[in-house]
Amino acid sequence: MTTTTDTLVPFAAAVQRYEPLIGLETHVELGTRTKMFCGCLTTFGAEPNSQVCPVCLGLPGSLPVVNRMAIEYTIRIGLALNCSIATWCRFARKNYFYPDMPKNFQISQYDEPLCTDGWLDVAVGMRTIRVRIERVHLEEDTGKSLHVGGATGRIHGAEYSLVDYNRAGIPLVEIVTKPIEGTGADAPVAARAYVTELRDLLRSLSVSDVRMEEGSLRCDVNTSLAPRGAGHWGTRTETKNVNSLRSVERAVRFEIERQAAMLDSGGRVILQTRHLHEDTGTTTPGRSKEEAQDYRYFPEPDLVPVAPPAEWVEQIRAALPELPSARRARLQAEWDLSEADMTALSNAGALDLVAETVAAGASPADARKWWLGELARRANEAGTEPADLAITPAQVARIAELVSAGTLNDRLAREVIDAVLAGAGSPDEVVAARGLAVVSDEAALTTAIDEAIAANPDVVAKIRDGKVAAVGVLVGAVMKATRGKANAARVRELILKRLT
C-alpha cells in the first residue's frame, strides 16, 4: 500500500469551483513482426534477453535501419485520426541516461513528426467531444527494468535491478492530444472514453494488440485546474504509469481532487510527473519537471529522412478498414437503435458481442437483451468483462433461438446460461442432458390444471366473478407442478378458457 497524506476536495465540489483541462499522451507498441530498427522478433513473453542483437542492444558500431512496416502502421494510425501525413520527416535522438536504454539515447521524433493535426470524436455521456490530435510520432521502446528490493519498486533504493532488452527497439507510436477543454465534471469519464475509443480504433486498424495489461498501450495523463471563469489555464501535472481504462479515469479524478485542495488552500500546483498507484487510486510525485533534464534533441545522423510518397499514403488510405465510429453508425441504423441505446451498448463493452450474436442469427433486440441484461449481470458479479465470459455469441444466439421457438422460457434459458458458463457444454447439450425443455404436452398440462382448479376453489370463484388477475395463483401452481418447464402464457390461456 502506498499511503498518501494529500488533502482532497470531494470531486463534485472541486469541479464546481474549478474547470479541469486534460490531455493525453498514449504510447502504443506496434504489432510488427520485427523491431523498429533491426530484425529481432517482437514476441511478447519470450525468455528475457533472447530477442536481442547488436543493434537493439546498442552495441558499439551497430546502426539502425528503419522498419518500413512500422512507418506504414504509423501512417495508417495518422490517417484514421484524420491527421496530415508529413511528406518529409526525420528521426531525432532524445538523450538521457538510464540503464534500460541501450544507447543512452532513444531514437524518436522531435519537431518533425510523421503525422500532425488530427482529431478523434469521442462519445461522452450523451454528447460527442472532438478530441484534437496534436501529433502521432514513431520511436523505439526501451528495455524493461525490474528493480528488486527497496520500498518503491523504482530504481532508487532498489537492492539490484535486472533489465530485459527484449522490449528495447520495439516500435512505439506516441499519440498526443491537444489540451481537451470544456469537459467539466465529465473530465475523468472523457479521458477514459478517449482512450477506449482510441484503443478500439487501433484494434480495428490491426496495428497493435492494444493490451493495456501487457503494456502495449500505455497512457500519460495531464491534468490541470483553473478557477471557473479565470480565463487562463492552470499548471499541469503528468501522471504516468496509467495502465488500465479504469486507472485513466481514477488518475484524472484524483488529480482534480488533489489539485483543488492545493488551490483552495492558496497553494500552487507544481509542474511535475506523478505516479499512479493502482491499489489506492492515488498519485505520488516523481521528479519535478522544472528541474527535468534537457534531452538535447538533434536529428538522428544514422538515419536518412523518411519521405513517404503521396501514392503510397493514398494506397494506405484506400486500404483502411471500416473504423469504429463508422461501424457504430452503420450498426445503429441496421439495428434501429436510439443514440442512447447505442452508447449504452458501447459503454458496456458489448458492441462486438452483440454484433457477433446478430451475425450468428439472433435478432438485434434479443442479442441486446441477453448481453446487456443477464450476461452483463454475470460479468459484473464475476468482476470481469462480458467478453471474457465463457459463453460465445453463437451460443447466446442459439439460446435466443430456443426461446423464440418456445423450447425454453426465460427461466430455463437462465438455467442453460448457468450451465454453459459452468462448462457443461453447448446450449443444446445442456437442454438434452437436463431435460430442460418446456412442457408443451397439452395432456400433461391439462392434468396439472385440473389439479390446480380442484385445489383452489376460492380462487376459481374470484376468477368467475371477473377478477381475472387472480389467475396468476393457478398459473403458479401449474408451473410448480411442472417444475417450471411449462410455457406460462400457454398455461394461462388454457385456465382462462376453462373458467370463463
Residues in contact with 287: Cβ distance below 8 Å, sequence separation at least 6, in sequence order: 272, 273
CB-based contact 102:143 (threshold 8 Å):
yes
- Considering the complex, what minimum distance in angstroms separates the CB of residue 289 from another protein? 13
**292 forms part of the interface with another protein (CB under 8 A):** no
- Please pick, from the candidates 2, 4, 34, 62, the single residue that binds another protein as defined by CB under 8 A: 62
Report the distance separating Cα 339 and Cα 328, nearest Å: 10
**35 forms part of the interface with another protein (CB under 8 A):** no
Binding mask 150-169 for another protein (x = CB under 8 A): -----xx----x-x------
**298 forms part of the interface with another protein (CB under 8 A):** yes
Give how many residues touch another protein by CB under 8 A.
Answer: 31
**2 forms part of the interface with another protein (CB under 8 A):** no
**60 forms part of the interface with another protein (CB under 8 A):** yes
**309 forms part of the interface with another protein (CB under 8 A):** no
- Considering the complex, what minimum distance in angstroms separates the CB of residue 37 from another protein? 9
CB-based contact 225:18 (threshold 8 Å):
yes
| From 52-60, 121-129, 212-220, 318-326, span contacting another protein (CB under 8 A) | 52-60
- Considering the complex, what minimum distance in angstroms separates the CB of residue 53 from another protein? 8
**88 forms part of the interface with another protein (CB under 8 A):** no
- Please pick, from the candidates 130, 296, 330, 498, the single residue that binds another protein as defined by CB under 8 A: 296
- Considering the complex, what minimum distance in angstroms separates the CB of residue 392 from another protein? 46
Report the residue number, 298 or 464, with the smaller CB distance to another protein.
298
| From 223-231, 241-249, 251-259, 302-310, span contacting another protein (CB under 8 A) | 302-310
| From 7-15, 64-72, 200-208, 392-400, span contacting another protein (CB under 8 A) | 64-72
Report in angstroms the alpha-carbon separations of 396 from 38, 166, 406.
Answer: 46, 41, 16
Report the residue number, 157 or 184, with the smaller CB distance to another protein.
157
Three-state SS string over the chain comes to: CCCCCCCCCCHHHHHHHEEEEEEEEEEEECCCCECCCCCCECCCCCCCCCCCCCCCCCCCCCCCCCCHHHHHHHHHHHHHCCCEECCCECCEEEECCCCCCCCCEEEECCCCCCEEEEEEEEEECCEEEEEEEEEEEEEECCCEEEEECCCCCCCCCCCEEEEECCCCCCEEEEEEECCECCCHHHHHHHHHHHHHHHHHHHHHCCCCCCCHHHCCEEEEEEEEEEECCCCCCCCCEEEEEECCHHHHHHHHHHHHHHHHHHHHCCCCCCCEEEEEECCCCEEEEEEEHHHCCCCCCEECCCCCCECCCHHHHHHHHHCCCCCHHHHHHHHHHHHCCCHHHHHHHHHCCCHHHHHHHHHCCCCHHHHHHHHHCHHHHHHHHHCCCHHHCCCCHHHHHHHHHHHHCCCCCHHHHHHHHHHHHCCCCCHHHHHHHHCCCCECCHHHHHHHHHHHHHHCHHHHHHHHCCCHHHHHHHHHHHHHHCCCCECHHHHHHHHHHHHC
Report the residue number, 301 or 423, with the smaller CB distance to another protein.
301
Report the residue number, 10 or 305, with the smaller CB distance to another protein.
305
| From 54-62, 240-248, 424-432, 474-482, span contacting another protein (CB under 8 A) | 54-62
Report the residue number, 158 or 444, with the smaller CB distance to another protein.
158
The residues in 370-399 that bind another protein, with binding defined as CB under 8 A, are none
| From 4-12, 53-61, 187-195, 349-357, span contacting another protein (CB under 8 A) | 53-61
- Please pick, from the candidates 294, 336, 381, 465, the single residue that binds another protein as defined by CB under 8 A: 294
**148 forms part of the interface with another protein (CB under 8 A):** no
Report the residue number, 62 or 347, with the smaller CB distance to another protein.
62
The residues in 65-84 that bind another protein, with binding defined as CB under 8 A, are 65-66
The residues in 190-229 that bind another protein, with binding defined as CB under 8 A, are none
In this structure, the strands spanning 237-242 and 272-277 are parallel
Report the distance separating Cα 53 and Cα 165, nearest Å: 10
**302 forms part of the interface with another protein (CB under 8 A):** yes
Report the residue number, 2 or 161, with the smaller CB distance to another protein.
161
**421 forms part of the interface with another protein (CB under 8 A):** no
Binding mask 91-110 for another protein (x = CB under 8 A): --x-x-x-x--xxxx-----
In the complex, the residues that contact another protein under the rule CB under 8 A are 54, 57-66, 93, 95, 97, 99, 102-105, 155-156, 161, 163, 294, 296-298, 301-304
